[in-house]
Amino acid sequence: MISCKTTGQRLTLIFLSLFTFCSIHISAQDVAAGKTLFVGKCASCHNIFKATTGPALMNLEERHKWADHKELLKWINNPAGYMANDPYTQGLKAQYGGQMMTAFSDITLKNVDDIVAYINDQVASQGKSKDPGTVNNEPKGNSNAVIFGVISLILGIIALILMQVNSNLKKMSDDAEGISRPEPVAFYKNKIYIAMAAILFFVVGGYLVAKGAIGLGRQTNYQPEQPIYYSHKVHAGINQINCQYCHSSVMESKHATIPSVNVCMNCHKAIKTYEKGPKLYTESGEEVNGTAEIAKLYKYAGFDPNNATVWDPTKAKPIEWIKIHNLPDHVYFNHSQHVKAGKVQCQSCHGEITAMDEVKQVSELSMGWCVNCHRQTKVDFNYDSTGNKFYSIYEKFHNDLKTSELNAVKADKTLTSKDRKFKIDSIMRTVRMDSVRVQDIGGLECQKCHY
Amino acid sequence: MKKFGIITGIAALVLLVAACGGPRRSPGRAYMPDMAYSRAYETYASTDKLMAEYGNKVSYTAMPVPGTIARGDMLFSYPYANDSAGYANSASVKNPLDIASIDMVEAERKYLINCGICHGTKLDGNGPLYKDGNGPYPVAPKNLVSDDLKKMAEGTMFHSLTYGKNTMGSYSSQLSTKQRWEVIAYIKMKQGGGAPADTAAAKATTASMVAPAMDTTKKAKQP
């Protein structure tokens, strides 16, 4: 089935396609030039759809006299001069915090046409792609435990039924053969059943009691609902904001510091809606409206997104975040010591924080957990230029050991062979720098953390 | 039928226990709460209880006394206020730090954490938050290696960094005065000297600064 066309039809088609190609090509060139200009000159202060430092440029031709691009050019080339006898732009200046637009004297009329073409093109394409291709990624519940529980329950019931069936059949066969046995006791009076149940009860109960007792005061998997649904996944994961942007004192202080509202507002003064990221869900599967969560932040900050210039940061109220990681009062822990000197990554203790919407405690923060890490972690001496020089006081010690002391021990005739071997062993152990663990430099001393 | 009742009862109980999944919303209990939770005031703790108990006998304020100068900030007192006159005057302020004494590796780290997110790792104003307009940030961050920014005085940069400019917020809570000057020195170095590097001597120092910084970036990439 090959469709044949007449030569006339083909010719018309070619003409038509050429025509459309040319027309698209011409307008695309304008739009492309406009985009370059817009990004280079305007985008620092203007967004097409949102009011930021300056007004949104969407549909600007419908406002004031801007449909006449010559008027627009006059304004762009010399805003101060244009404003002198124009109440509309004077009003704009007052509305946007008394800030005058920067003059762009090098812009020509052609440039203005291009920029407006680009803006209109963006507005048109925004209208087309309005319906969002929703990807429904519902979070999966942890159903494995339930399935296993149900299966073992069913198996247990089947076993019980089979045992009852077995005893009934036995009774029937006994009746048929005329053997008289004492009346069988009910299964809940059967001593074997009772003994088995008692053993099971003590094993399971003992396990649960021990587990509960160990877990007292530990908060593994603690995942409280925070006053604002703040997703670390969106901020630190998708948008690649460094942990230390917000937790800025982690290298200098005992605390990693919770950011104050002004740090949030550094970005959210401009980012007023959540629209480009994936859909957000709470742990119980309800969908979260990101824009509404940002609005909660504005409430704390005392910020009016429609009237951004009158914001007074000193009126902001702190957000009462709920503390997740809590060490008992009798334990001392210092973030800077671990992050700056020890160069421990945040994720080593806090888990894959960049994949968490709602943060939960991953490590158990028990003493055994601390001590284990101190036993296993090698000390990063890094004497060369890349290191932090924190342990540089050990450098001389190491070099001395390597050369003179080793020789001295070997040459010392007064030592018994056992003593000499012990000394050389201990020296060799310290000399091999990669073998030095945190425990060897005091990481297991009680009073380092309890005092 | 009695047996059946017992069995279904146990089954229902087990199912109920098994179904109690979901997130852990409670912190649980402590064995000895007086040893676990501090009686003394702890960082970020609420003062409401303290105030309710002692009323106005406690004088607590989260703010330092007016006029307090942070340790190490005496050298760098910045004279201009956050207004247009201050912005205009800021151009005359010079970096009080000795450029050669600045650890450029550390300055670069501070830049990448605090500035790179918008202004980009290449200082081209295209960080992960903007991504050519595909990121969440609605306006284009300044291209720090453009000609007008190269001409900008370091004092003006310090003014903007301290008080914020347009949609950019103030960074004085995240970076100390010294760190702000270090980051500005890093930006000026990346801009290739710029305005302050007029003399041959200054050019020589910036050139010598470029070399070690590039070495370290190479080293960092290797592993």
Please list the ranges in chain A whose pLDDT falls under 50: 1-5, 16-26, 130-141
Distance from A3 to chain B by nearest Cα, in Å? 44
What is the tally of structural domains in chain B? 1
Whole-prediction pTM value? Answer: 0.69
> What confidence score (pLDDT) does residue A142 get?
55
d(CA A272, CA A276): 12
Provide the 8-state DSSP code for A279. Answer: -
> Which residues, in sequence order, are CB contacts of B183 under 8 Å at separation 6+?
B107, B110, B111, B114, B115, B161, B175
Q: Using a CB-CB distance cutoff of 8 angstroms, which residues of chain A are in contact with residue B3? A: 186-188
- Is B178 contained in some domain? yes
CA angle in degrees (0–180, nearest 5) for B62-A308-B89:
75
Residue range A252-304, pLDDT digits in tens: 899 988 999 999 999 998 898 898 888 898 888 888 999 999 999 999 999 98
- Is B47 contained in some domain? no
User: Is the confidence at residue B71, as pLDDT, over 60?
Assistant: yes
d(CA A329, CA A312): 37
Chain A window 23-82: which residues touch B at a Cβ cutoff of 8 Å?
A: 39, 43-47, 49-50, 52-53
Across the interface, do B15 and A149 touch by the CB < 8 Å criterion?
A: yes
ipTM associated with this complex: 0.77
In this structure, what token pair is assigned to residue A357?
Answer: 């919407």
| CATH code (residue B126) | 1.10.760
Across the interface, do A44 and B141 touch by the CB < 8 Å criterion?
A: yes
For A330, name the nearest residue in chain B, comparing CA atoms only.
B35
> What confidence score (pLDDT) does residue A2 get?
45
Q: How many helices (H) and strands (E) does chain A have?
A: 18, 2
A280, β-bridge pairs: A288
Length of chain B: 223
Which domain does B176 fall in, by range?
74-218
In this structure, what token pair is assigned to residue A239?
Answer: 């948008």
In this structure, what token pair is assigned to residue B200?
Answer: 């041959």
How far apart are the two ends of chain B, measured CA to CA in Å? 71
- Is B188 contained in some domain? yes
Establish if B170 touches chain A: CB-CB under 8 angstroms: yes
- Is B5 contained in some domain? no
- Is B42 contained in some domain? no
> Which of A222, A323, A328 is the closest to B36 by Cβ?
A328
- Is B1 contained in some domain? no
Residue range A211-256, pLDDT digits in tens: 888 888 888 889 999 999 999 999 999 999 999 999 999 988 999 8
For B143, name the nearest residue in chain A, comparing CA atoms only.
A40
User: Is the confidence at residue B16, as pLDDT, over 70?
Assistant: no
- Is B90 contained in some domain? yes
- Is B37 contained in some domain? no
> What confidence score (pLDDT) does residue A128 get?
58
Q: Which of A255, A375, A261, A372 is nearest to A325 (CA)?
A: A255
